[in-house]
Amino acid sequence: MRKTTLRSRLILGFGAVIVPLLVLLMYNNWYAMQVVRYQVAGSNQNLVRMSMDQVDSVLEETDKYLSKTALQDPDLTSLSSYPSDSPEAFFAKVNTLNQLSGDIAYYSEIEAFFAYGTQAKELLLAPQEKLGYDKKEQFKARLEQMLDDSGVRSLLVKKWTLLETDGEYSLLRVVDTQYGSYVGAWVDLGKLLKPLDSMEFGDNSQVLFASPNGRILTQGSGEPLAGIVSPPDLQKALTDSGQPYNILRGEAAGSDSMVVSRPSHAADIYLAVLQPERSLLEKLPAFQRLIYATPLLAFLALVVYLYYLQRSITLPVHKLIRGMLKLREGELAARLEPSRLAEFTAINDTFNDMARQIKHLKIDIYEEQIRTQKAELKHLQAQIHPHFFMNCLNLIFNLAQVKNTALVQKIALYLVRHFRFTTRTNVSSVTLADELEHIRNYLNLQSIRFPEALNFEITASPDVQSLQVPPLTVQPFVENAMEHGFANREDEPFTIRVTAGLDPDSPDRAALIRIEDNGEGFSPDMLEKLVTGNYFRTDSGGHIGIWNVQHRCRLFYKSESSLAFGNKAEGGAVVTLRLPLPPASEQEKGGDSHVPGTDRG
């Protein structure tokens, strides 16, 4: 079967999208008006729902605050508990007013908090700082008149109540403390509507609050609707919730409006958006003309689109295919030129880089093999110590001359264990317990060679004895201590301590192995090289021991191990090796160790 090209697939894809789209546009031209209505209504409905939820959230949070204050504020409940001229009543008023004045700052949508005591019939008002004096005094007088009437008070404490003052509407909420005092809040509907008026509901739209009977309480900026919209018509549009929107018929022809509304859960008010239909459909004639011109525009776009694909995609793909064929044929010098598109430029750069890497791959492989062989050679060299071996044989010979058979047997046993461990080149890891046992054999041999001149101490926590480590990870540091510290210690025995345990900073993740002695320590120059890492950047044979440990640990633990060097304040060198711990499930698989936790020589 013949395979299709990229160009033909793109043309077929373009046609599969454009042709049905054109048919659909021609067929649904008459339906466009209704689609626009539903789209605008859905958008406005979401905004109205979100806006009304914000208003309800403000009212509910205010209601919670008033209820909490009425139950928990002792000063508020004491407003009517003492005679009005008593000091207790005075301090209760001052504290209550201070509390309400401080809390009003956290409720920017609230015009004022107030408290009222029936004992003194005194109203304590805590308004916002920006509230005008005339408006504050007018509201205060109206509120005192209402709260003085016990019948009115009983109506106000039930729920949020609409309050009209000189043609302006607000919401009032009063909570009874059950101790002859009340606390309440005053919310201006105009202030609640102001942030909603700036939202994008559509061209020429009107945002308003209305009562359930269709009376407009307050509206946003724009032409006043009070004399134009009939309350019964608005009431019908607000209460009919079976449709996403309702049409409000205007008195004048062509003034029909789309109404999207939502009732409040906290108060008896509706939030509504009115948008004239003519503003929705004024662009439809131009849209219809565009539909008839779409086939011609689509054909021209197809020609330009195919030319663009040919220059920008098809040609670079063909060049890439030719370059890959050249590589397959062995022409490693093949390179691609940069493209006009950033994506193909990245592909071409990657191709060129890949060709260069393939060209040098054989050389890189050879060099890696040489480096691996050098590392293995250094590892083998670190395991062989002819001088130490000859000294041990010479000691055995001398003890045999004096017929000290027991000590000869002991040295031979330690020597056999030592070389059995060092010649196990076929294993990649051993347990930390085996490594410490090997160090113990080595130091036992040294203590026999130098009696009364060498002390050592090996301590290992049971938590880390089963930790897998590369062979000869710790011993090179002990050997360095013997080589550089032992010869320079004359006044007291040379002491080496090896401790292994969990890292106190991260006991679940790492183990610490510490090797310290009481020798002269590192010289300042050597310590600086070790700390900065310059010591490990040389290929000198004198650095083979520590270099080998660091190199093998990084390969074994994926660069998660670390070495730290330092000198003790009282004298002597300290080396700390930090090794990562395996997961708990893998630690449980490790076998029990035969090495005791502590040994002193």
pLDDT digits (tens, 9 = 90+) for 365-404: 656 666 665 555 455 445 545 666 677 777 787 778 877 7
What is the bridge-based pairing of β-strands 112-117 and 510-517? unpaired
Cβ proximity of 69 and 107 under 8 Å: no
Highest mean pLDDT among 77-81, 246-250, 360-364: 77-81
Residue 424: pLDDT above 80? no
Residue 592: pLDDT above 60? no
> Residue 90 CB: number of other CB atoms within 10 A?
12
Residue 264: pLDDT above 80? yes
Give the Cα separation of 541 and 585 in Å (integer).
40
Q: What is the 3-state secondary structure (H, E, C) of 47-97?
A: HHHHHHHHHHHHHHHHHHHHHHHHHHCHHHHCCCCCCCCCHHHHHHHHHHH
Residue 226: pLDDT above 70? no
Write down the mean pLDDT value for the chain: 78
Can you tell me the mean pLDDT for 220-237? Answer: 74
> Residue 258 CB: number of other CB atoms within 10 A?
23
Give the Cα separation of 21 and 290 in Å (integer).
13
β-sheet bridge partners, residue 574: 516, 566
Give the Cα separation of 214 and 248 in Å (integer).
12
Can you tell me the mean pLDDT for 408-435? Answer: 82
Q: For residue 598, what pLDDT band results from cuts at 50, 70 and 90? A: very low
Can you tell me the mean pLDDT for 125-145? Answer: 86
Highest mean pLDDT among 207-211, 588-592, 593-597: 207-211
User: Considering Cα of 309, then 310, then 311, then 314, what sign does the dihedral take?
Assistant: positive
β-sheet bridge partners, residue 273: 207, 260
Residues 6 or more apart whose Cβ sits within 8 Å of residue 472? 379, 382, 383, 422, 435, 438, 548, 549
Give the Cα separation of 443 and 305 in Å (integer).
82
pLDDT value of position 595: 42
Highest mean pLDDT among 8-12, 35-39, 299-303, 387-391: 299-303
pLDDT value of position 591: 42
Residue 126: pLDDT above 70? yes
pLDDT value of position 229: 76
Phi/psi for 52 (5° steps) reads -65, -35
CA 252: distance to chain centroid? 58
Residue 509: pLDDT above 90? no
pLDDT value of position 140: 86
In tens, the pLDDT along 442-479 reads 888 888 888 888 899 999 999 999 999 988 889 888 88
pLDDT value of position 500: 95
pLDDT value of position 378: 54
pLDDT value of position 386: 62
- 259: part of which helix (H) or strand (E)? strand 257-263
Cβ proximity of 174 and 112 under 8 Å: no
Q: For residue 358, what pLDDT band results from cuts at 50, 70 and 90? A: confident
Give the Cα separation of 162 and 36 in Å (integer).
36
β-sheet bridge partners, residue 512: 501, 578
Q: What dihedral do alpha carbons 485, 487, 491, 496 form, nearest 10°?
A: 40
Residue linked to tokens 């011109």? 293
Give the Cα separation of 599 and 593 in Å (integer).
14
